[in-house]
Structure 1
């Protein structure tokens, strides 16, 4: 509960008038002081009344690409039984406050407000809670209370269509690495039989030993397994425009475009951040949600070296797409060291105003000013 400047002044005046009136026996001052004290007490009782409200909100839609329209619908219902609500309410939408009129909201009635959610920037826009301010008629006391929860709106990076998708890389028995246009089946593990499994996949020797049917689980080892690594270190994206690193935003668009293209082709894809500590632990979990929530993080070459060491040890795929900014051109040697673990390594330098020197670290480098230019350059790659 907060007392306004007017209420504070009246409270001080009440104390002074009562003190002077009693001290020097001035009944007029005592009456004025008592009236001021009663006014402050009435304001406290009036503002302390807690309206019974329920708030429901729905985003339409709750996941959009950057720049696409999104709206929020807020329904406020007065669940009280005795009096109508005549309040001042504001709904928090990101960093802004949206007014929600609650004038003469009778018991059992509701009101609905619909407004647009800003999607000019990639990110997660938290909407809510509704903040209801209760004031007394004299404006002496104001009490604000939150109602309802918070609903996130996920603003994904723009997706630019990609035509080309990396081909698979299969290893033959003599150690060579070849591009494989079609899949091959390889034994992976054994599992229990379920209705519908083909009997020719039953492993009879193991079934006889454990006493129940066991079937072979096979995987397609020659399908391309793509790993997209996004460099979210602040040192890799030094340029700022109105406090925003546009090269990083372009990198998020490039990552989203590659992920969308691989999912469209039903290919396995893994999305990693160079600095995983900058990811939102409460994110939606999908790759596009992660790209919406990720932020720039502190860290130098040691963070990059740790990430590359993890990629080398785990070998999450056979095609590595590393997306970074102009500030990391001098560190591409750490990425080039992964060519032994990943048959195909492609580096995308977003926000580039000039070309990376040919043959830098022996990598295929795509220089692009933004996500749209990256998509155009990507489709022109001839060597994976």
Structure 2
């Protein structure tokens, strides 16, 4: 536009066309005004928050942006959020302090870096623009989708040591004591220890008939035919762990590569323990690893053992890993399940293209 304006101005003067010369001078002046407008950068403070910082995949997440110390003038202010280096669509922002809200996409599970914010000051006619960055980089944790799952199979009554010996008597086993905290059931106070120590102590009991659950997630990249299949597997594994935690069942979560092994203690009060929350955060960041060998799983005393894997895995080897559990199941994420659900030896095999369908098959099997 600047070159065009100069040509029109010079041509109009040389050819004695005053209207063309005036038009060229106007274009040159307009370009100068627009450039000067965007180069005058006010000292603007950027206030940006992301709410919430922990969100379930595909649930809403909102950014709140407010600029302080700016003014409208002859420019427009546009903001673009950076999510793991990918810029979102531009959002118009009022530089005079009014708050602007915008949606943050949560389509991908994991630990996402949000920021820095990209601020662009654009002239009214769009012929000049300047770009700056502002705002802190925050970490957004996106958890797996919450797949509805009804329950787990019932446990088998066992001795307090976890062996397979049958017991016909009811009751619970005392597995430990902890200091009283607000919210604990006063009926579970252990009076003898409280009197001896001078501090209120609460019983930690375990029901010998609670199902002892093991969820084995196959995190080997070679076990999955497509990249999205692993995401479906993580969602089903997270649903199984969540149901076990909410029921207060003792849970062990482990991976086929051996990179992760988490024990979640059981609870007769069904209060979700700290380890269950930590496991949920782990499932937000877990990824598939290439070139890993299958590790063996200690399955003595297990009631429910579930392996979640992909269609390219060697199912007989995975069935051997949990075959001595009382109720072993293989859940296979298969995008094209030509082979129907069945069994490998004594291990039940469920096949479906996605986590939701596998969850429905699981509920049908439990019922």
Structure-1 residue corresponding to 2:91: 100
What's the Cα RMSD here? Answer: 4.7
The correspondence for 1:78, drawn from 48, 68, 71, is 68
User: Is 1:360 the equivalent of 2:329?
Assistant: no
- Give the match's secondary structure for 1:73: strand
Supply the distance in 1 between the matched residues of 2:189 and 2:278 (Cα, whole angstroms). 36
The verdict on how the C-alpha distance between 1:356 and 1:299 changes in structure 2, with shifts beyond 3 A counting, is farther
In the TM superposition, 1:149-298 aligns within 5 A as: 149-152=137-140, 154=142, 156-162=144-150, 164-172=151-159, 177=164, 184-189=171-176, 196=186, 201-202=191-192, 207=196, 217-222=203-208, 223-238=210-225, 240=226, 245-275=227-257, 286-298=278-290
Q: Which runs of 5+ in 2 are unaligned?
A: 3-34, 262-275
Q: Secondary structure at the match of 1:166?
A: coil
Report the alpha carbon displacement of residue 356 of structure 1 after superposing the two structures with TM: 7.3
Structure 2 vs 1, CA of residues 246 and 133 (structure 1 numbering), >3 Å: closer, same or farther? closer
1:275-308: CA deviations, max 9, x gaps? 47599xxxx95444433332222133x2x22xx3
Alignment CA distance shift 1:184-1:84 (3 Å): farther
* Partner SS state of residue 132, structure 1: strand
Out of 81, 96, 99, the residue aligned to residue 91 of structure 1 is 81
Q: Report the Cα offset of residue 139 of structure 1.
A: 8.4
2:306 corresponding residue in structure 1:
321
Gaps of 5+ in 1: 1-5, 7-42
TM-score, length of structure 1 as denominator length: 0.63
Match of 1:129 in 2: 116
User: Are residue 64 (structure 1) and residue 56 (structure 2) matched?
Assistant: yes
Distance 1:149 1:220, change over 3 A: same
Aligned partner of 1:23 in structure 2 is: none
CA distance in 2, matches of 1:276, 1:174: 25
Name whichever structure is richer in helix by fraction.
1
Residue deviations 1:170-212 (CA, integer Å, cap 9, x gap): 32499973788996322324566899576765159x94xxx75
Residue deviations 1:110-163 (CA, integer Å, cap 9, x gap):
34132x33344444554322123468999899553332332515252241333x
Deviation at 1:323, TM superposition (A): 0.4
2:337 partner SS:
coil
Question: CA offset at residue 357 of structure 1?
Answer: 8.9
Residue 349 of structure 1: aligned partner? 332
- Aligned residue pairs total 315
Please say if residues 341 and 351 of structure 2, whose CA atoms lie closer than 8 Å, have aligned partners that are also in contact. Answer: no
TM-score relative to the length of structure 2: 0.65
Q: SS of the residue aligned with 1:251?
A: helix
What SS does structure 2 have at the residue aligned with 1:254? helix
Q: Is the 8 A contact 2:188 2:203 kept in 1?
A: no
